[in-house]
Amino acid sequence: MTKRSFALAAILGFVAIALGGYLLWQGRQGDAIPGVTYEARNIDPGPMLHLAEVLSSDALEGRGAGTPGADAARGFIRKRFEDAGLKPYLKSGWEHAVTVLPRPGLDVPGPGANLIGWVPGQTPGSGPLIIVTAHYDHLGIRNGEIYNGADDNASGAAALTALAEHFVRQPPRHDILFVALDGEEVGFLGARALVRDPDLPIDRAALNINMDMVSRSDVGELYVAGTYHTPGLVPLVEQIAAEAPVNLLIGHDRPEDGVNDWTNQSDHALFHELGIPFLYFGVEDHPDYHKSTDDFSVIPLDFYVRAADTVAMAVRAADERLPEIYALRQQQAAPVQPEGPTE
C-alpha cells in the first residue's frame, strides 16, 4: 500500500464512520431530511442523498477514471448495491473490467470497472430486459483543483442505487440490469465495454434508461431525450409526465438542436448506435457544469429526490410495457428494405 493510498484509506474510513453517524441520526429523526419537503413515492431518499454527498466529497478527488478516487467510489456504490439486496450479474462478481488508457496527467492508470447488478423479473434470464445506467467517474483533479462532480454524475450514480433498492423491494416483471459505468468522461469507456461484451445480454435489451446529471434545476425541470429516435415511446413518456413530481420535458434529441442535441453526449449513445431505444434523463447545463464548483452543497435536494423518483416511475412504466418496447427495437434495428417496384 502506497502512502497515498494509505492516506486515502484513512480518509475513507472516516467518511464511512460519518455515513454511519448520518444514518443513525436520520433514524432518530424519522423521515425528515433538511431541505426536502417532497414525500418520495418510490425511492428511499436518505441513503441516496448521503451516497451522492460521499461520492462528491474531496476525499474521492473527483473520481477520475483509473485513479484511487474512482476505485473508492466503486467501493461505496458496491456496498449500496449489496445493502439493497441486488445480485451481481457476472459469475465473477460485481466488477466488469474496463481498460482505462493513459492520458495527460495519468501515465499509469489503475484498472477501471463497471459494476453490474440485476433484479430478476418473472422469468429470470429470459425475455426482454431494461438496462439502467449512470456513470460514476468524473474529471478528477485539474490544475490542482478537485472537480467533485456532484451533479455530474454523483447524482445519477446514487440515484441508480436508490432505484435498484426500490426494484428489489417491489420486483419487476422483466429482468432489470443496474450498471454503474466507469470512464464516461474519457470517451464512454464503460458503456463501450458493456455493449461490446458478448457475455452480457445486450440482444435482450429493449431499452436503456440513462441518468447523467439529475439533481440541478431551480425551476423544477427534468428533460427526457430519446423519443425523437423512437417515437413509439412518446405515449409512455406522456404517461410518466402526467404523474411526475417534476416538470418532465421531452427534448434535446433532434439533429436540428445542434450542440443541444444530447443524443451522443452520454453513455446512452452506445445503445443508440446499436439501434436500442433509450430514454436519457438529465437537467439543462448549469453554470457549475464541468467546473470545480459542481458541489453537493449547491444541489437543491428536494428537486433531486423528485427527479430520482420520476426516473423510478419511468423504469416501472417501461417494465409494464416492455414487450411493446422490444418490438420497437426490432422495428428500428431492422435493415432498410430496398424499395420495390411501384405499380
Cβ closest to Zn ion, residue 172 vs residue 190:
190
Q: Whole-number minimum distance, CB 182 to Zn ion, in Å? A: 12
Q: Whole-number minimum distance, CB 121 to Zn ion, in Å? A: 29
- The separation between CA 299 and the C-alpha centre of its own chain, rounded to angstroms, equals 17
Q: Whole-number minimum distance, CB 330 to Zn ion, in Å? A: 30
Cβ closest to Zn ion, residue 186 vs residue 241:
186
Tell how strand 145-147 and strand 140-142 pair up. antiparallel
DSSP string for 27-79: HHHTT-BTTB-S--SSS-HHHHHHHHHHHTSGGGGGGBTTSHHHHHHHHHHHH
Cβ closest to Zn ion, residue 67 vs residue 153:
153
User: Is the preceding peptide bond at 153 cis, omega within 30 degrees of 0?
Assistant: yes
In the complex, which residues of this chain contact Zn ion (CB under 5 A)? 152-153, 212
- CA gyration radius, the chain: 20
Q: Whole-number minimum distance, CB 50 to Zn ion, in Å? A: 20
Q: Whole-number minimum distance, CB 153 to Zn ion, in Å? A: 4
Cβ closest to Zn ion, residue 63 vs residue 316:
63
Q: How far apart are CA 72 and CA 231, in angstroms?
A: 40
Q: Which residues contact 319 (CB under 8 A, 6 or more apart)?
A: 121, 130, 172, 173, 174, 176
Cβ closest to Zn ion, residue 89 vs residue 280:
280
Cβ closest to Zn ion, residue 152 vs residue 253:
152
DSSP string for 231-295: GGGHHHHHHHHHH-SSEEEE-S-SGGGGGG--TTSSTHHHHHHTT--EEEEEPPP-TTTTSTT--
Q: Whole-number minimum distance, CB 184 to Zn ion, in Å? A: 6
142 DSSP β-pair partners: 145
